[in-house]
């Protein structure tokens, strides 16, 4: 009898794939196959990685955030630059979901299937944005991009508590605040197709941040940590960015932030 397929090992293979189109197809196939066959999760497996993480294409050129360029909504190129920046965020987001899935052992099976769901949805977001870029006459990789999101993924690779605290519920949660004004700006410019994509992304990101919040609290409970005190310590230790408003309080509430946490943003 054939051995059952193992989810974390296949997630790592998706993460190592450098071509964005192939990566998104592999993630979709992995999610579908897992749903159909119920692959096993070996939460004690240890993997040897000999290739760079994450797999990524040669372009876009990665530069400091200040060098990414201004994104005027007056021109097609300016709108394409904005869509490109969003596509790069989603490319990093699907990689971070795959990294959360394969990297951290000894967690409940639901943790791994939650992050598989996130990877599938982030890959879908990237595909929509990349296709819209083509409609605008550009390709993913045509503009420079910054890598701030992945830098925090790399910083927190040694501690799953820090990862949950500082990536989904900090950096990704900023998307809950940023998407509504971006959506208004791009809709005002007349690009209703891009605005509709942002509606889908905002809807899904609420769920992704909720997953981060839920597993962060689970891990704090397992380690006997107070979530708010631990968060402040982790943010200082890992030099997380200081969050600035305005904040999307309702979306953050739906994403699982407590009223005590939300009071800090008021």
Q: What is the pLDDT of residue 74?
A: 83
Which alpha helices (H) appear in 7-75, and where do they start and end? 7-16, 20-37
Q: Per the confidence metrics, is the pTM higher than 0.75?
A: yes
Tell me, what DSSP letter sits at residue 67?
G
138 within 8 A of 84, measured Cβ to Cβ: yes
Q: What is the pLDDT of residue 2?
A: 39
Cis peptide bond upstream of 229, omega within 30: no
Distance of CA 176 to the CA centre of its chain: 12
Is the backbone of residue 110 left (phi > 0), alpha (psi -120 to 50) or beta?
A: alpha
For the chain, 266 residues long, give each residue's pLDDT as a single digit of tens.
334 578 999 999 999 999 999 999 999 999 999 888 778 888 888 888 989 999 999 999 998 877 777 778 889 999 999 999 999 999 999 999 999 999 999 999 999 999 999 999 999 999 999 999 999 999 999 999 988 889 999 999 999 999 999 999 999 999 999 999 999 999 999 999 999 999 999 999 999 999 999 999 999 999 999 999 999 999 999 999 988 889 999 999 999 999 999 998 77
Q: What is the pLDDT of residue 4?
A: 52
As beta bridge partners, residue 145 has 62
**Four-point Cα dihedral 231, 181, 148, 204, nearest 10:** 70
Pair of tokens at residue 232:
């402040």
215 within 8 A of 257, measured Cβ to Cβ: no
Q: What is the pLDDT of residue 148?
A: 86
91 within 8 A of 140, measured Cβ to Cβ: yes
Measured between alpha carbons, how far is 165 from 75 in angstroms, rounded to an integer?
38
89 within 8 A of 151, measured Cβ to Cβ: no
Q: What is the pLDDT of residue 22?
A: 97
Measured between alpha carbons, how far is 155 from 139 in angstroms, rounded to an integer?
30
Q: What is the pLDDT of residue 179?
A: 96
């Amino acid at each position: 009898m054939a051995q059952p397929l193992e989810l974390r090992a296949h997630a790592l293979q998706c993460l190592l794939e450098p071509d964005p189109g192939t990566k998104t197809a592999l993630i979709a196939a992995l999610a579908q196959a897992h749903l159909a066959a119920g692959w096993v999760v070996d939460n004690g497996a240890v993997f040897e990685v000999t290739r760079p993480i994450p797999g990524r294409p040669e372009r876009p050129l990665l530069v400091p955030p200040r060098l990414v360029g201004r994104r005027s909504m007056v021109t097609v190129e300016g709108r394409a630059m904005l869509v490109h920046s969003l596509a790069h965020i989603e490319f990093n987001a699907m990689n971070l979901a795959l990294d959360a899935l394969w990297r951290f052992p000894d967690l409940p099976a639901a943790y791994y299937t939650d992050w598989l769901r996130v990877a599938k949805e982030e890959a879908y977001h990237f595909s929509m944005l990349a296709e819209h870029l083509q409609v605008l006459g550009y390709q993913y990789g045509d503009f420079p991009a910054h890598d701030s999101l992945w830098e925090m993924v790399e910083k927190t690779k040694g501690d799953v508590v820090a990862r949950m605290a500082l990536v989904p519920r900090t950096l990704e949660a900023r998307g809950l605040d940023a998407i509504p004004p971006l959506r208004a700006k791009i809709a005002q410019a007349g690009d209703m197709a891009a605005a509709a994509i942002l509606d889908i992304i905002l809807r899904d990101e609420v769920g992704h941040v909720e997953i981060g919040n839920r597993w962060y609290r689970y891990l704090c409970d397992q380690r006997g940590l107070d979530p708010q005190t631990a968060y402040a310590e982790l943010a200082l230790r890992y030099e997380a960015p200081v969050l600035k408003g305005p904040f999307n309080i309702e979306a953050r509430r739906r994403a699982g932030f407590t009223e005590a946490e939300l009071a800090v943003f008021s």
